[in-house]
Amino acid sequence: MLFGIKSGNPAKNRSQCTMIGVYEGGKLSPTANLIDKESKGYIKKILKRGDISGKVGETFILHDVRDISAARIMLVGLGKEASADGAKFLQIVNAGINALKKIPAKNTLCCLAEASAGDEDLYWKTRKIVEHFEAAVYSFTEMRGTKKDTPIGLESIDLFMSDKADQIAMQSAIDDGTAIAKGIKTARDLGNLPGNICHPTYLAEQAQKMAGEYDSLSAKILSEKDMEKLGMHSLLSVGHGSAQPSKLIIIEHKGGKPKDAPHVLVGKGITFDTGGISLKPGANMWDMIYDMCGAASVFGTMRAVAEQNLPINIVCVIAAAENMPSDCATRPGDIVTSMSGQTIEILNTDAEGRLVLCDALTYVEKYNPKTVIDVATLTGAVVVALGSQASAMYSNDETLAEDINNAGNTTLDRVWRMPLWDEYQVQLKSAFADVANIGGREAGSITAACFLSRFAKQYRWAHLDIAGTAFRGGVANKGATGRPVTLLTQYLMDRAAES
């Protein structure tokens, strides 16, 4: 998708569709008011007829409007101006995009950035328009054979600028929005690939490929032998039942000074999760291709920050394994020694994400990181707790938690902070090892985070449980969402702004 900026008289713009906003109650946006005057009051006439009331999400398309150069005028409901906010603005944008996808327009002039969005500024609105247009035209067709989706005809979007003083802000928003959209696409593409293609070795190859595309990136892959030497027996235990070798994938973005401590992202990369010997029910097991969405999201975030060339150092570590049952698989009741030296009694082999993450969290101590955020589709319990609206956040540092929360509120890729109290640790007691890998039925997402916290005591750390937000399950309508790439990228952009 190509994005540009247009100024001048929107009534004279020869786009195949011009998108303008109308408020509930008959008030017109500035551009709608101008087009109404050029068309001799035609827009107001349409509103008086009641064809569109201006409520959020309404759209109405006009053809060949008198004295207007665009082939079509799309009226988009903006709701009540007094109650406008960022969330409603996204509803408005998405409604306009969905209507636009139904018509044969290759280009459009979008005038929605002038709509009120509460406290959100022009940069934010422009960036969100870019991100959501890119998301709307996304289609995963790589695995199609003969049955291809009908491609969306939309090729270019011009964003209307009423004041030339806004040029810098709007262009910056387009650049950032495009970078983030590329990161989201990367995450969605990886997440949507089936397990027979997207296995740990494939992820390692993709890391090396991406590192070759950007001067700021480099990639390093640790094999099972390398991890064995480091004592990463917890991570390795997960892949014992699979013919696919496990990998520890490291991607570094060197945008800051060589000696600057990096911010670290850690992603859970279980490329397929059968549950191992603690086998999952067969129904809906196909959704377990998405158990590597934590890895996919940090992959996507690294692409976004490389596109932006953020002036800070960032390290991405992906713990990649396939969890399969076999005669070589880890058994319930086995005890393994993690890289940290702590022993783990594996009571349930389907609680495998924490087993790969804990060794990765110990590994990243070598970087003396400023912050560490791990991202994982870790528990079904978090879906029950928070649904698909917010990711669960746990942290051992108040400032880090606040920074992540702020990034979530900015992007509307929100998190909800959950407790990480010592009282929950008792559920992880083991009769024979230092810690058990499950804590029982109660507070499943919390006890999983408590488990990880035992391996993250040497730095400022946060854990995001994205099992409810990273993908949509099901059969025909399933798909990776690309969350929380927007959140993580915003968090890193904010850190870069501070440096």
Q: Give the residue numbers marked as catalytic.
A: 280, 354
| The residue to which tokens 């990161």 are assigned | 183
- Report whether the peptide linkage leading into residue 281 is cis, meaning its omega lies within 30 degrees of zero: no
Distance separating alpha carbons of residues 68 and 82, to the nearest angstrom: 30
Distance separating alpha carbons of residues 320 and 456, to the nearest angstrom: 19
327-to-164, 241, 242, 276, 333 alpha-carbon distances in Å: 68, 7, 10, 11, 15
Asked whether the beta carbons of 453 and 383 are under 8 A apart, the reply is no
Any bridge partners for residue 479, and if so which?
A: 472
Amino acid at 485: V
Angle at 451 between CA 448 and CA 457, to 5 degrees: 130
Q: Pairing state of beta strands 313-323 and 59-63?
A: unpaired
* Rama region for 120: left / alpha / beta (φ>0; ψ in -120 to 50; rest): beta
Asked whether the beta carbons of 460 and 396 are under 8 A apart, the reply is yes
Distance separating alpha carbons of residues 488 and 493, to the nearest angstrom: 9
Asked whether the beta carbons of 91 and 57 are under 8 A apart, the reply is yes
Angle at 493 between CA 268 and CA 420, to 5 degrees: 45
Distance separating alpha carbons of residues 253 and 299, to the nearest angstrom: 12
404-to-245, 246, 387, 400 alpha-carbon distances in Å: 34, 30, 19, 6
Name which of 454, 185, 132 is nearest 304 in CA terms.
185
Q: Quick check: helix, strand or coil at residue 97? A: helix
Angle at 368 between CA 365 and CA 372, to 5 degrees: 70
Helix (H) or strand (E) holding 159: strand 156-160
Helices (H) and strands (E) in the chain, counts: 14, 19
